[in-house]
Structure 1
Amino acid sequence: MHFPFSRTVTATLVVTAGWLTGCGGGSGSTVSLASPLPQPPSAGTPSPAPAPAPTEPTAPVRTVSFDPALCTLQAGAPYGQTVGITGTNMMVTSADVQASMAGCRILASGGSAIDAAITVQAMLNVTEPFASGLGGGTVITYYDAATKKVRTFDGFSAAPATTGGVADIYRAVAQDVSTTGGFNVCKTGLTAGASISSQQGNTNISARAAGVPGTLAVLDLVHKSYGRLAWNKLWDESIATATDGFPMTKYMYQTLYADSGEYDDDGNPVSAGSGVPAWVNSAGTVRGAARCKYPDINARYCLPSDTTKQQPLPVGTLIRNAELADTLTKVRDGGAAAFYDPAGAIAPAIVAKLTTGQLPCASVLPSAGTSSNPSTASTIARIPSLMTAADFASYKAVERKPLVGTRFGMTIYTQPAPSFGGVVTLYNLALMERKAIADTAFNSTAWLHLVTEGSRLANADRRNVVGDPAYSNINERVAALLSPAYLASRAALIGDTALGTVPAGGTGDGIPAFSSTDPTVYDPMASARTSPIVLARHTPARPTRLAKAAAEAGHEDWNTTSNVAIIDGWGNALSMTTTINTHWGAHIEAAGMMINNVMSNFSASTPGLDVNGYAAFKRPRSSIAPAIAFDAEGRLRLVWGSAGGGPIPDYIVKTFLGHVVYGMDLQAAINADNFTGQNGIAQLEAGKPIADEVARLISGYGNTSSNAQVTGLTSGLSGIAVGYDANGFPIYRGAADNRRNGGASGY
């Protein structure tokens, strides 16, 4: 791939950029970003012997090179970065090194941050099929360096139009019990409205849990505003990789099978045995089938010679996906419209696989696959989706107002509802400011007491407040939740003894009462009719708020999703989190893509307070919250986010505190041991030194074995820290979580 044409750019440093005519050629090119040129001197009175004019000092010039051959990775560590990558031109970091390299090559060919993000997502669809892809949802936080505008875009997957008249996805509809139209009775005696979760295994891992994918729609939306390269120039590397093959990685293998200790999809330890369970019931007594027992996963990713259908292909085995290559080719040539066209080739194929392709229904009795004998768990739930091809045509990605707040001298822009991750990030950081956490040693027992108590409080509040803002007064309630007065009252609850029961705030605390709204008249950009948000200098007293943006166009799984951070050659930055929800989503492949199971993130409907209840077209809340931070001078400082399910905002908080407050190198901050309180209890990362702190929390801070535990916390952080040299030119440090296959690429 070559830089398509040669350009020379002269710009006012950091603030504006203007194009000048250039010429030249070759695979490499440079762009000069300079300080303002001095003004010509005023005309003076002629003199017979004029003194030489004083020489104006030469303004420093930043030169950006565009050459794909310069893209590099950490030497000797192709999978699992251990130290950060430093560059001064551009940087990409993601959960897969092949994806990062592909994205860097796009930047080095003159592409923008969104151009590279599209290429990275396409490659992740190939190499990380268990975490994200075009069959899932994505949110993007985007910084435009030329205008200093930050915008947030929502491509979350959404519920189909048909709900069958039930309040949640765990109830049988007429289709499930019909014997006509090709549908079979799922279980003898099952009636419409009855629970299918207990009788069908876990509804969460079935076609019923699939939402209408939003990833491609949001990529298309952002590309229309900020793309520099043509859409059809961004897909070839991923198509070639799907065709020629990619290796089974160690991390992918671990998502399918554990040879010894295991953690279930909620991060809880389970007994050793064959195969990582696809689901475990709330009592921990019944386990679902190992992932390799699911036909679509088995056919492509599992060992054909294993008659028990449990073991994956060995690490390093080359995996090809011709079906996915064909889908990516159709999207390359036909754009996002080719994916969402209800009469096209892709949407009907997905719907067919999720509906009639899931028949007949297969019963799972509560006694199947007990924890003491996991190998007997061989039956999977096959529950048809209610989706139609028309749902694809009606799907729209939307722009929302960023959630923004100033914490520890940094202004953070993050995702608003239906993400709860942005709320928790700003909420807990505000509590930590008020508790003067900077005076406490990082990851000490006292430090962990503060951050886990803050996370527990955030969890209690976000569960009652955050959901799809089209269906209730969520934005109003979030604003109250993040008001200085409310945050001060919550910080006051953190003492020297852990809270036994964490109280949620309510109307008596200044949180407005829940009120339903009409989603048909909802406008996510209401009251933002002037211009996108423009960065200002830091004002210490500025409260958290729902910022203005452009007028232009169940339980969360612990160890899932994927994150991408990018800064391009013009200084534009993108933080993107992308997901098919839990690992391997619905465990169903269609058109070469794994399909999401995002509707399992809806909560059981509560009469009068369906903040996150199931409804047609609704988007369930999510923990993902890609963020961008600026210093008091308005300079870009940190672009970061994480994978990892419910604890995602805690991983984001940990990294921010480590890097910004304690001055740690970004890679070291990412590598630091994890904590969370998003399950309502203090949980610390198993297998790391931090696990020893559980006993100290119990002995020193009044925790009990029921609210302080060790668990699996596999984060998937990626980020770029930005420093500045003596001339004010940026220095990028790309970092990625070594718990997965992460790696940065740049120069």
Structure 2
Amino acid sequence: MHFKLNSLFAIGLCAVTLPTIAKPTQVETREPEATTAIVQKQLVTGEKYMVAAANPYASKAGQQILAKGGSAVDAAIATQLVLTLVEPQSSGIGGGTFMMYYNKANNKLTSFDGRETAPANADETLFLDKHGKAVKWIEAVVGGRSVGVPGILHAFANAHKQYGTLPWQELFKPAIELAEQGFEVSPRLHGLLARQLNPGVLSMPVINEYFYPNGKLIEAGTIKKNQPLADLYKDIAKQGIDAFYKGDNAKQMVNAVQHSKIAPGKLSVQDLAEYKSKERDAVCIEYRAYNVCSMAPPSSGGVAVLQMLGLLEHKDMSALKPNGEKAIHYFSQASRIAFADRDMYMGDPDFTQVPTKELLNKDYIASRAKLITEQDTKAVAGNPVGYLSYAMDDSYELPSTSHVSIVDAKGNAVSMTSSIEMAFGSTVMVNGFILNNQLTDFSLSPRKNGKLVANRVEAGKRPRSSMSPVMVFNKDGSLRLVVGSPGGSRIIDYVAQVVVGVIDWDLTAQEAINLPRTTNRNDYTSLEKGTALEAIAPALTKRGHNVRVLDLNSGLHAVEVKNNTLFGGADPRREGVALSDLTDKNATIKF
């Protein structure tokens, strides 16, 4: 497989106009992966297959696998292996994933939980100082203490065993070739490094040397090689995931975590050897004439997205102007209510009683929908079961994540969101990949007002996540839409807004992705800076909203199925592209 290093926003392929460079915008403390450029994109059409991912190299790898007859699972694996290399700030084999898989032949929908777990020696005091108080957020993030057991490769092996078509080794070839021959450092990767958003990149020696060779930051356009990662990929390709979870690589990960220059951690060889991904049933809800499905807990995002849609079903959104003042108001109120329940009840269902069915119960949602008035109102958690009493969460979930949407030639589909959490993760780097800091997705404080927090640290537990891969189905069970996004806890609103755009406002996937973003996590109403939404800020303020105009950095990728044709969409806020069987397979890669 050959990647041409000339110009692939030539692979933006007739689908991209000239970029508009975004001016520096307000970036909140705990949202470090910001927009670096806006590149307007058009809908991409396909007849057989489609892949949409966050970097052209990654999309190209997925396209090549699909062209060889690979399944959606095969393409997702190959795409992610390349993302580990070319988009290391967002996701990778040192992190985790939620992958939804739809098998058209048997009309089956399932999901794979490759979420990280807390080490066996971790407990609820992990992020407490000597006075029993939660440490500052940035102190929790950087270094070995925040590293959970990576789960993505185990989930890949599990999914490939059941739904893979091409040999396992074949899936590694694009990433190995790129790592050895070199990839072009993108403007986004350079820009995020230049902003120095994660102090660990400058403080931790291995990652610092990788991104600052000879003390100088790598420039956009530099051809960057990663032989350690290529060597590890060769081992995993030949030996399977034992080459990652056992042996030399496992020992090196443990050594790097336990002897981290900053905040040594608790990861052990036994933790790695005993990790297991899980196959889980998806959660679904009827919305209008469709069935919308997402990831079950420990994803909080899936339930929250579905709750929002259930609440909005009580409003005639199709009669409202897309992104108009009234539509944004109702959307924000539905989000407030969903977030109130999310912050109270969501956690790892293997450790905590999570009332998923009750939260999605039609009668419960109908009762909650009555709370949506014409004025902005802070929501409080409901009481869907009557016998659970938890404290509110204080975890900080960050937006350094990636999403891949794929439909293969047989009509099977993958909606996969993956993450290492903070931009550049824990900044602990081993064998060419970055380890996650996902343990900071737990509540830093295990108790509030004498009550236990559902999402507290416990040994072997999966932290709550907002990752919300979504699939939408027609009433006859056929696939309609595959979508998801990075964005930390804002993922929930990003994804829900696209679903509303496609279903209620009859927008194409690309048009819905292009919509100016808005979020409300039961705190304030964010409107995307530099967009038409700024004009409705005064009207929302009159409704009682605390409005903030911010850089909202979604990274939505979608595949829409309509009239037996595939339509791919990629977010203009990031550098991803959608590629199909109709896209030039010899197009070159350039940013």
Is the 8 Å Cα contact of residues 74 and 85 (structure 1) preserved in structure 2? no
1:481 alignment counterpart:
359
1:731 alignment counterpart:
565
Matched, 1:323 2:228: yes
1:469 alignment counterpart:
349
Q: Following superposition of structure 1 onto structure 2, how do residues 431-510 of structure 1 map, counting pairs within 5 Å?
A: 431-474=311-354, 477-499=355-377, 501-506=378-383, 510=385
Structure 2 distance, partners of 1:614, 1:695, is: 42
- 2:452 is paired with a residue whose SS is coil
- Structure 1, unmatched stretches of 5+, are 3-70, 173-190, 258-274, 279-288, 307-311, 360-381, 517-553, 725-729
Q: Following superposition of structure 1 onto structure 2, how do residues 541-580 of structure 1 map, counting pairs within 5 Å?
A: 554-580=394-420
Once the two structures are TM-superposed, the CA of residue 303 in structure 1 deviates from its matched residue by 6.5
Is the 8 Å Cα contact of residues 147 and 439 (structure 2) preserved in structure 1? yes
Structure 2 distance, partners of 1:303, 1:498, is: 51
Structure 2 distance, partners of 1:154, 1:389, is: 21
Is the 8 Å Cα contact of residues 50 and 580 (structure 2) preserved in structure 1? yes
Structure 2 distance, partners of 1:742, 1:114, is: 19
Pair 1:644–1:201, CA change in 2 (3 A): closer
> Deviation per CA, 1:399-443, whole angstroms, max 9, x where unpaired?
112101111211112100010111111111111110222221111
- 2:421 is paired with a residue whose SS is coil
> Deviation per CA, 1:235-293, whole angstroms, max 9, x where unpaired?
01101111121122122123223xxxxxxxxxxxxxxxxx3443xxxxxxxxxx37444
Once the two structures are TM-superposed, the CA of residue 582 in structure 1 deviates from its matched residue by 1.5
Structure 1 distance, partners of 2:302, 2:134, is: 33
2:421 alignment counterpart:
581
- 1:235 is paired with a residue whose SS is helix
Is the 8 Å Cα contact of residues 418 and 469 (structure 1) preserved in structure 2? yes
Structure 2 distance, partners of 1:73, 1:355, is: 43
2:265 alignment counterpart:
385
* Amino acid corresponding to residue 127 of structure 2 in structure 1: Y
Once the two structures are TM-superposed, the CA of residue 613 in structure 1 deviates from its matched residue by 0.4
User: Normalized against structure 1, the TM-score is what?
Assistant: 0.71
1:42 alignment counterpart:
none
Pair 1:448–1:76, CA change in 2 (3 A): closer
- 1:203 is paired with a residue whose SS is helix
1:300 alignment counterpart:
210
Percent of aligned positions that are identical:
33
Structure 1 distance, partners of 2:99, 2:134, is: 35
* Amino acid corresponding to residue 716 of structure 1 in structure 2: G
Structure 2 distance, partners of 1:195, 1:637, is: 48
Pair 1:84–1:502, CA change in 2 (3 A): same
Structure 2 distance, partners of 1:572, 1:328, is: 26
1:600 alignment counterpart:
440
Structure 2 distance, partners of 1:591, 1:290, is: 17
Is the 8 Å Cα contact of residues 147 and 435 (structure 2) preserved in structure 1? yes
* Cα RMSD for the two superposed structures: 2.2
Is the 8 Å Cα contact of residues 455 and 677 (structure 1) preserved in structure 2? yes
1:245 alignment counterpart:
182
Once the two structures are TM-superposed, the CA of residue 660 in structure 1 deviates from its matched residue by 1.7
Structure 2 distance, partners of 1:505, 1:450, is: 18
Is the 8 Å Cα contact of residues 73 and 101 (structure 1) preserved in structure 2? no
Structure 2 distance, partners of 1:143, 1:436, is: 30
- 1:580 is paired with a residue whose SS is strand
Once the two structures are TM-superposed, the CA of residue 688 in structure 1 deviates from its matched residue by 2.2
Is the 8 Å Cα contact of residues 143 and 200 (structure 2) preserved in structure 1? no
Matched, 1:702 2:582: no
Once the two structures are TM-superposed, the CA of residue 681 in structure 1 deviates from its matched residue by 2.1
Is the 8 Å Cα contact of residues 73 and 85 (structure 1) preserved in structure 2? no
Pair 1:73–1:110, CA change in 2 (3 A): farther
* Amino acid corresponding to residue 317 of structure 1 in structure 2: T
- 1:243 is paired with a residue whose SS is helix
Pair 1:76–1:712, CA change in 2 (3 A): closer
- 2:351 is paired with a residue whose SS is coil
Q: Following superposition of structure 1 onto structure 2, how do residues 565-714 of structure 1 map, counting pairs within 5 Å?
A: 565-603=405-443, 604-606=445-447, 607-678=450-521, 680-699=523-542, 701-703=543-545, 707-714=546-553
Once the two structures are TM-superposed, the CA of residue 398 in structure 1 deviates from its matched residue by 0.4
Once the two structures are TM-superposed, the CA of residue 72 in structure 1 deviates from its matched residue by 6.6
Structure 2 distance, partners of 1:720, 1:388, is: 40
Q: Following superposition of structure 1 onto structure 2, how do residues 36-115 of structure 1 map, counting pairs within 5 Å?
A: 74-75=13-14, 77=16, 80=39, 82-115=41-74
Structure 2 distance, partners of 1:213, 1:679, is: 31
Judging by fraction of residues, say which structure has more helix: 2
Once the two structures are TM-superposed, the CA of residue 482 in structure 1 deviates from its matched residue by 1.3
Structure 2 distance, partners of 1:197, 1:515, is: 22
1:426 alignment counterpart:
306
Once the two structures are TM-superposed, the CA of residue 511 in structure 1 deviates from its matched residue by 4.5
Structure 2 distance, partners of 1:515, 1:709, is: 30
Is the 8 Å Cα contact of residues 422 and 624 (structure 1) preserved in structure 2? yes
Pair 1:390–1:739, CA change in 2 (3 A): same
- Structure 2, unmatched stretches of 5+, are 3-9, 20-38, 582-591
Bigger RCO of structures 1 and 2 (CA < 8 A, at least 6 apart): 2
Pair 1:564–1:76, CA change in 2 (3 A): closer
127, 130, 134: which one pairs with 1:170?
A: 127
Matched, 1:339 2:244: yes
Once the two structures are TM-superposed, the CA of residue 745 in structure 1 deviates from its matched residue by 1.0
Once the two structures are TM-superposed, the CA of residue 679 in structure 1 deviates from its matched residue by 5.3
Q: Following superposition of structure 1 onto structure 2, how do residues 188-267 of structure 1 map, counting pairs within 5 Å?
A: 191=130, 194-195=132-133, 197-198=135-136, 202-257=139-194
Once the two structures are TM-superposed, the CA of residue 305 in structure 1 deviates from its matched residue by 5.2
| Count of residue correspondences | 549
Pair 1:512–1:685, CA change in 2 (3 A): farther
2:283 alignment counterpart:
403
1:745 alignment counterpart:
579
- 1:721 is paired with a residue whose SS is strand
Is the 8 Å Cα contact of residues 441 and 447 (structure 1) preserved in structure 2? yes
- 2:237 is paired with a residue whose SS is helix
> Deviation per CA, 1:437-472, whole angstroms, max 9, x where unpaired?
222111111111110111111111111111000112
Once the two structures are TM-superposed, the CA of residue 322 in structure 1 deviates from its matched residue by 1.2
* Amino acid corresponding to residue 149 of structure 1 in structure 2: K
Structure 1 distance, partners of 2:132, 2:470, is: 41
Structure 2 distance, partners of 1:388, 1:619, is: 16
Rg: which structure is higher?
Answer: 1
